Amino acid sequence: MNELIERVTAWIAGDPDETDRETLELLVRDGLIDELERRFAAPLTFGTAGLRGPVMAGPAGMNRYTVRRATQGVAAWLLGGPVDAARGVVVGRDARRGSEAFNDEVVAVLLGAGIPVYEMPGPLPTPLVAYAVRALSAAAGVMITASHNPPEDNGYKLYDASGSQIIAPDDETVERLAAAATTPELGSRGDPRYHHVPAELLAEYQRHAVARFVPRGGSDLGIVYTPLHGVGGATMTAMLAAAGYRDVHVVRDQFEPDGRFPTLAFPNPEEPGALDLAIARANEVGADLVLANDPDADRLGVAVCGAEGWRVLRGDEIGWLLASDLLPGAGEDDVVATTIVSSSMLAAMAKDAGVDCVTTLTGFKWIARAGGDRTLAFGYEEALGFAVDSRVADKDGMTAALALARLADELAGHGETLLTRLDEIETRYGVHAVDQLAVRVDGPDGPEHIAAMVDRLRDDPPRLLGGEPVGEVVDLATGWRGLAPTPGIVLLAPPARVVVRPSGTEAKLKAYLEVVVGPDDRPLVVQRRAARSTLAAIRDQLSTRLV
With helix as H, strand as E and coil as C, how does 255-315 read? CCCCCCCCCCCCCCCCCCCCCHHHHHHHHHHCCCEEEEECCCCCEEEEEEEECCEEEECCH
CATH of domain 42-198: 3.40.120.10
CA geometry: angle 296, 229, 19, nearest 5 deg: 80
Q: Are 418 and 500 in contact (CB under 8 A)?
A: no
Q: Residue 444: what pLDDT?
A: 67
Q: Are 249 and 286 in contact (CB under 8 A)?
A: no
CA distance 85 to 77: 9
398 has pLDDT over 80 = yes
Q: Residue 424: what pLDDT?
A: 98
Bigger pLDDT: 453 vs 517? 517
Q: Do domains 218-428 and 431-543 have the same CATH topology?
A: no
Candidates 391, 362, 383, 326; CA nearest to 128 is 391
Mean pLDDT of 373-396: 96
470-478 LR contacts (CB < 8 Å, sep 24+)? 476/340, 476/501
What does the pLDDT look like over 284-331, one tens digit per residue? 999 999 999 999 999 999 999 998 899 999 999 999 999 999 999 998
3-class SS at 513?
Answer: strand
Q: Is 284 exposed, middle or buried (0-12, 13-18, 19+ CB in 10 A)?
A: exposed
At the fourth CATH level, which superfamily is domain 431-543? Alpha-D-phosphohexomutase, C-terminal domain (3.30.310.50)
Q: Are 470 and 476 in contact (CB under 8 A)?
A: no
Per annotation, catalytic residue among 147, 219, 342, 343: 147
Candidates 16, 247, 47, 282; CA nearest to 149 is 47
What does the pLDDT look like over 176-197, one tens digit per residue? 999 999 999 999 999 999 999 9
Q: Give me the sign of the Cα torsion angle 178, 183, 184, 188.
A: positive
CA distance 304 to 251: 16
Q: Residue 547: what pLDDT?
A: 67
Q: Residue 275: what pLDDT?
A: 98
- The whole-chain average pLDDT of the chain stands at 95
Q: Residue 450: what pLDDT?
A: 87
Share of the chain above pLDDT 70, in %: 99
CA distances from 375 to 317, 336, 367 (A): 23, 9, 12
Domain edges within the chain:
42-198, 218-428, 431-543
Bigger pLDDT: 504 vs 163? 163
What does the pLDDT look like over 89-121, one tens digit per residue? 999 999 999 999 999 999 999 999 999 999 999
CA distance 233 to 266: 18
Identify the helix (H) or strand (E) that includes residue 509.
strand 508-517
> Catalytic site residue 147?
yes
Q: What fold, for 218-428?
A: Alpha-D-Glucose-1,6-Bisphosphate; Chain A, domain 3 (3.40.120)
Q: Are 377 and 326 in contact (CB under 8 A)?
A: yes
> Checking phi first, is residue 261 left (phi over 0); if not, alpha (psi -120 to 50) or beta?
left
| pTM of the shown model | 0.94
Confidence of residue 439 (pLDDT cuts 50, 70, 90): confident
